[in-house]
Structures are given as C-alpha cells and as structure tokens.
Amino acid sequence: MAVQQITEVATTHMTLGAHNKFNIDVNNAIIQATAAALRVENYATLYAQKIEEESRIVNRQTAMASTVDVSAADRQRDRAVGVIMNLTNAHTTSIIAEKADAANKLRQLLAPYKGIGAHAYQKETAEINGMVAVLTTGDGATYAATLGMDDEVDALEQANAAFEEAYARDQEEAATLAALQSVDTKELRAQVDALYQQIVLTVNAVAVLQPTDEVTAFIQKVNGIIYKAEQEMGTSTASKPLPDTPGTGEGGGTDTPTDPDAGGDGDDGEGGSPL
C-alpha cells in the first residue's frame, strides 16, 4: 500500500483571508488528531498563536466604533452645558427678584465657561469639571438651587462622566488598532507558512516511519482542505507530494528519512497580500 503524504499547496496565491481560513482549518485538524499523535508538539502551539495573530489582522476594524460613542457623548454634555447657560440667562429677566439676582450673579461665575463646547475634548472635560464645581459648591450651589437647576447640574456631571468613559474606551481601541497596524503582514504570513511546512514535513515523515490511523486520517483531512482551497483559488491540479518527502521516492524524495526539524523546501510565505 502506497504511503500517504500531504500534498503541495500554493499558499502564496491565497488572499490574506483565504490564507488565514486555510490555516485555521489545518489547525482544527491538528487539534482533532492531537499534536502528540502527529508528533508536532514542537510547532502546534506557536502555529496556533500565529494563526490567531493573523486572524486579528484579517478581522480588524477599519474605523473605531468607540469614536462614534465619543462624539455622541460630547454632544450630550454640550447640550447639558447649553441648558444651564440658557436657564441662567433666562432667569436674569425674571420678575421674581430673588431669582433675577441669583441668575445675574451665577452668570458672572459661569462667564469663563461660555463657548466651551467648541474646545478640544480634553480641555472641555476639564472645563466642565470646573463648571460643575462652581455649580455645586459655595455661592454657585446656592444660586443654582434658587433657580431650581439641581437636576440639570446632576445631568451635566453625569454627561461629562459618560464622555470620559467613552473617551477612555476610544483610547484603548486606538492603541489596539495601532498595534495591529504595526504588524508586518508579510512577515507574519511567512512565519505561519514556515510553521505549516514544518508540520507537514514532520507528519509526512511519521507517515513513512511510524504510520498510524490518526496520522493517515489527518493526512486525508488536510489533503481535502488543500483540494478545497485550490478549487476556491481556481488552481486545482492533480495532487502531488511535497518535494523532498522522505521515504516515498516521489517528488524528489529519498529513501532515507530527513530530520523534520531541518525545515522544508515548500512555500516560504513570501509575497503575502497586503491588507
């Protein structure tokens, strides 16, 4: 009975998404068979890690959803500031002397905060904190209470806190995206390919030297994954074993098994598709 071997696949012809899906499928097959049964414990963990890194690049967002939250939160606090300013101004003409007096005095205290909605995010955050302090302490708190604006002041404080939370999420998301953008996609893809080749060489060697049902089933499964991938690329050809496959006498191999750790002559991962 002929020795079964994992066949070649042109991974350099795959898009980044297809490349990632192919390796995910192979990794799932490794998990099912177990790395120990395939004798690939030295490569399986790192292979899975590199595939996960590639997945994050494939699925990374082109825009930050949290930025929308920041804009909405900023508009909300701007409205809260506007309501307090408008109520204060409106009460300056109140026919109730106590309210008119409180409004005029409060307007003077709030004068430094006029137009803060046009300021940069972080500057406005600090200014609103200052405005809230004016409205909740000393004479400012008394004037605000006289004008019946306690609820509006609470709403302003809550709106500013909500903005700060949204802004913090936005910063975290920006840091994550920046980290992904700094990854050399071509280099990462080459690393995935190199690990895949080592796994293939190892499994093919085991299939020659110590074939088992698990190894044979894994080879058949991976060859099916390869066939499907080639069909999707439109490059499906007759299966052929990897070059220098030990012990098969095919594809330039020899009857003397080679050291799987020495690496293969297969796809080196160059020419990865840009995002």
Q: What is the pLDDT of residue 207?
A: 94
Q: Which of 146, 181, 216 is the last residue of a domain?
A: 181
For residue 60, the model assigns a pLDDT of 67
Nearest one of 186, 209, 196 to 242, comparing CA atoms? 196
Whether 110 and 135 map to the same domain: the answer is yes
153 and 49 both lie in a single domain: no
Q: Do residues 37 and 102 share a domain?
A: no
Within a domain: 28: yes
pLDDT above 90 as % of the chain: 63
Specify whether 55 is located in the same domain as 74.
no
In a domain, 6, yes or no: no
- Domain residue limits at 77: 65-181
Looking at residue 269, its pLDDT comes to 40
HSE of 231 in the Cβ direction (CA atoms, 13 Å)? 6
Instruction: Give the C-alpha separation, 157 to 162, whole Å.
Output: 9
Q: Count of alpha carbons within 13 Å of 41, Cβ hemisphere only?
A: 3
Q: Identify the pLDDT of residue 223.
A: 95
The burial of 141, by beta-carbon neighbours within 10 Å (0-12 exposed, 13-18 middle, 19 or more buried), is given as middle
What does the pLDDT read at residue 57? Answer: 82
Of 181, 208, 232, the residue at which a domain comes to its end is 181
- Give the pLDDT score at 183: 65
Mark whether 122 and 151 lie in a shared domain: yes
Which residue stretches of the chain have pLDDT < 70?
Answer: 1, 60-67, 179-180, 182-183, 235-275
Do residue 73 and residue 130 come from a single domain? yes
Structural domain count of the chain: 2
pLDDT digits (tens, 9 = 90+) for 109-168: 999 999 999 999 999 999 999 999 999 999 999 999 999 999 999 999 999 999 999 999
**Cβ–Cβ under 8 Å, residues 92 and 103:** yes
Q: Look at residue 75 and tell me if it is in a domain.
A: yes
Q: Which pTM value belongs to this model?
A: 0.51
